[in-house]
Structure 1
Amino acid sequence: MHALASAPLILLHAVAVLGLAPGKPSRRMLLATVSGYISQQSIGPAPGVPLASAMVNPSAVRGNGGAVSSWGESWSSTCAWSSNPPPLSSVASLPCWLEGRWRVQSNVQDVTFPLGRNFINDAVPGVRMASVLMLPNVGNTPAFDLTFSRDKNGAVQVDQSERVQALLEAFWPDARVVSVEQAAEAGRTRLWYDSPSRRGERKQQSVDLRECSDEGELVAGGRYFEQQVYQQDNIEQGVRGFYTVLNTFERDGERGVKWSQRVAAFLQPTDSRYMDAMGRPVAFYDYTFKMSPLGGQVSACDTTAS
């Protein structure tokens, strides 16, 4: 049975286990009572049925994104609003032709709310400044620099500390990064920044970003597709967000790279319309990035290799 189709059965089971009073409990009462139960159980396939692949079809980077969901995935039970995910077990190795330092020019393609604006609230990732560290100010289109280098195992990776600092300061020019720390747990980044508050005074705040899943693969046409799942805490604001980042990279001419990105934002069980969303994204933020090499670099890898 598909995860979405099993949602009513999960609710009935939760009602029985939690011992709700007989009769017809109100919708608000039901949501308040079972949201914690659902987050712990993680809606997914029935016992004995293999979990769906964590990778969505690369076409989900654009279009209606019907394949993107936060329910029934291999990471759904460990990347939950009520608990922190374990250290990241593996990361995608990016194509060798991304190695080097790049000037990146951003361009917003679209911002859509696939379930309607009545699913959007102040806690949805992307609504508040810096609530999506990968797109700290949705709608802005700055230029910034990124570095991709090889790790100790020879895999090409982005410099995560440089990336989060570059993105925050480029997308939100009034913000200044105070410190960035790669925690001992793999996939966890902690960032402290100084920025104007709603009252006008400057205030130091912090973000605890945890990557729940990072997978990638070469797809048709020599493109590389990457899917990342994040849990983000904006500590001082007391807000936890959950979102998926879908990226495709493809070579553009002899030296350039075209990068397409979609950030899919989800509701949390504490949101009143969480069950109505049924694990589907409530917001899509679609960007393209034009990457140009800095310093006259030329890829040292075979153009037919990854």
Structure 2
Amino acid sequence: MLIMKLIWSFCLIIFCLLEWSGTAIAGELAERLANFPQWEQLTSVQRAEGDLVYPDWFAGSWEVTSTLVDLVAPLAPDIVTPGFESNRQQLNQPVSFLVRFIQKKPPITGLKLIPKIDKSSILVADRVFNSLNLARAYLGDEAVLSIKLDPDSPNRQITLLRGERQLVSIITGRATETTSNNTFITSEVFQQLFKGASRPYLNAVESTTAYHKLSTSNPAIEADQVTAVYLSPQDPDYFDAASRPVALYRYRLEFSPSPKD
């Protein structure tokens, strides 16, 4: 139960870990969201490289309210992930936490900056701050000890939990799609490994999110997010599931300026 709660809640960390590059075919990600829950396989993504980059209107500190608005088990009753039914208790139950986005110098690849980015600084998420607040909002302050980032890769994160348990998240692929000046859509695929139980638990997750800048200040940004869970090859139901997701979760995210900013 704890494993599935961790996996379910950490799917939301997506907005703290995306890179604004690897543009998808125009309309592909928007169409994917519109087709929920008819998802048959992972979306097309490019290899994940570098740090996250956000549009300038994400700058500052925000109070985010996340609400689970729908969940689907496409292969039920034959295949249902542990904890799926208990997650129904989270339906329409808003959860709030603080996040912030900060400026940093862009990394250098050879003699060039990140492709398509020509700025003296770029906007990135404060990933340790954001992920720790998110994890504690869902799991409790005492359950989450700390968040660590791999110093050699911004795409690898380790969450340390009580009882010598760990959740390792590794981003493997991303894509983005800009539909207007005030809307962009992101998709990310990552691997999750839970250590510390009787046996390690591994799966693949895809999260596709459409962000929209509003003309209001409260909220100032809203997002529609769908997270899909796929079985790993080590799972006994892997071949029965084929390429299809075994669980789909849909969230509504609202960003309001933090009074602490």
**TM-score, with normalisation over the residues of structure 2?**
0.71
- The higher relative CO (CA closer than 8 Å, separation ≥ 6) is in 2
For 1:143 and 1:106, locate their aligned partners in 2 and report how far apart those are by CA, in whole Å.
6
Deviation at 1:68, TM superposition (A): 5.7
Matches within 5 A, 1:52-71: 56-66=28-38, 69-70=41-42
| Deviation larger for 165-174 or 225-234 | 165-174
Deviation at 1:290, TM superposition (A): 1.2
Letter paired with 1:110: D
Q: 1:174 to 1:89 in 2, by over 3 A?
A: closer
| Alignment partner of 1:263 is 2:231 | no
**Contact persistence 2:205–2:229 (CA under 8 A):** yes
| Alignment partner of 1:217 is 2:182 | no
Aligned counterpart for 1:293 among listed residues 241, 245, 257:
257
Matches within 5 A, 1:210-249: 210-220=170-180, 222-237=182-197, 238-249=200-211
Point out where structure 1 has 5 or more consecutive residues left out of the alignment. Answer: 1-52, 76-87, 130-134, 195-202, 298-306
**Contact persistence 2:46–2:175 (CA under 8 A):** no
For 2:136 and 2:257, locate their aligned partners in 1 and report how far apart those are by CA, in whole Å.
21
Q: 1:204 to 1:128 in 2, by over 3 A?
A: farther
Letter paired with 2:214: D
Matches within 5 A, 1:78-89: 88-89=48-49
**Contact persistence 2:66–2:251 (CA under 8 A):** yes
- Percent same amino acid at aligned positions? 19
**Contact persistence 1:54–1:74 (CA under 8 A):** no
Q: 1:71 to 1:149 in 2, by over 3 A?
A: closer
Aligned counterpart for 1:161 among listed residues 118, 121, 128:
128
Deviation at 1:61, TM superposition (A): 2.7
Aligned to 2:159: 191
Deviation at 1:92, TM superposition (A): 5.1
For 1:102 and 1:248, locate their aligned partners in 2 and report how far apart those are by CA, in whole Å.
17
**Contact persistence 1:216–1:226 (CA under 8 A):** yes
Cα deviation, 1:145-197, whole Å, max 9, x if unaligned, reads 11112232223222221222111111122643212111123111111122xxx
Letter paired with 2:237: R
Q: Which has the larger radius of gyration?
A: 1
Q: How many residues align?
A: 216
Letter paired with 1:144: F
For 1:266 and 1:128, locate their aligned partners in 2 and report how far apart those are by CA, in whole Å.
17
**Contact persistence 2:44–2:175 (CA under 8 A):** no
**TM-score, with normalisation over the residues of structure 1?**
0.62
For 1:62 and 1:163, locate their aligned partners in 2 and report how far apart those are by CA, in whole Å.
28
**Contact persistence 2:45–2:173 (CA under 8 A):** no
Deviation at 1:65, TM superposition (A): 4.5
Q: 1:281 to 1:89 in 2, by over 3 A?
A: same
